[in-house]
A = this chain, B = another copy of it.
């Protein structure tokens, strides 16, 4: 048995909410955040500073940041996409920001409305500005293991964007299987190379369970030495009204798997599961994770 400690970053408040048909009220967001902290989670992505017209669910970003728990042991982060977002994050008192680029040019144009080239240019500006404000920046790539528009993504492109982001001065890196197309063989091939490139810069893996491979990918990634994962309570993150469009790997399910395999996380899955069940009740639709029902 391995007794390694694994770091979980909760993404349910950001990646989990942006595609829902209803907006989770600020009061409930904060209740969930306090309870996530109480469950032992030490990294939480709480919001994104994007245009409220594009993502109405994140329009309360400033209000939410002002009401966050005053807990020095917890890193509250926010997603930023451009200089405007970064400035808002600074004003809101956020100290950890995540910025990312899609490894697929088509996805970048459709999702972020800019070419991969423009996205990279903007990424350097954002990172420079963040450093001026002494923020910790987590860089990142989306669609690392496949794109719904382009199919397979060229691996050299992934390595090159990673090097570029490191050169921009990011303090961490996140690699996302945004589409859930990744498989364990890819993890075993690509992750060691990414770890080699990143050196001392910590890597987080952001997995989705869209094709039921998310947890198998966790295990494959652990074998390559990955020690940080993004997850979302209840497996939020896809659209719960499109059957089969499951979201992020679920926090409870991932932590349960890790604990059974002898890893430690410091997280109480019963507490996380109760959040998922409350979310499910509010949503009126089942969340794709499995453990929150079993833990009742």
Enumerate A267-296 residues with CB–CB distance to B below 8 Å.
286, 289-294
Number of copies: 2
Complex contact B290–A184 (CB within 8 A): no
Chain B neighbourhood of A70, CB < 8 A? none
Q: Whole-angstrom distance between the alpha carbons of A244 and B220 in the complex?
A: 24
User: Known: A216-B219, A219-B219, A244-B294. Contact between A261 and B210, CB under 8 A?
Assistant: no
Q: Whole-angstrom distance between the alpha carbons of A211 and B250 in the complex?
A: 11
Complex contact A243–B185 (CB within 8 A): no
Q: How many residues of A contact B (CB 8 A)?
A: 33
Determine the residue in chain B with the shortest Cβ distance to A218.
B216
Residues 183-221 of chain A: 1 if any B CB is under 8 Å from the residue's CB, otherwise 0? 111000000000000000000000001111101101110
A selection of 15 A-B contacts at a CB cut-off of 8 Å is A1-B185, A183-B261, A184-B219, A185-B262, A209-B212, A210-B290, A211-B294, A212-B289, A216-B218, A219-B220, A242-B293, A243-B286, A244-B290, A244-B294, A245-B293
Add 7 more A-B contacts to A211-B290, A212-B257, A213-B215 (CB < 8 A).
A185-B260, A185-B262, A212-B250, A212-B291, A213-B260, A215-B216, A244-B294
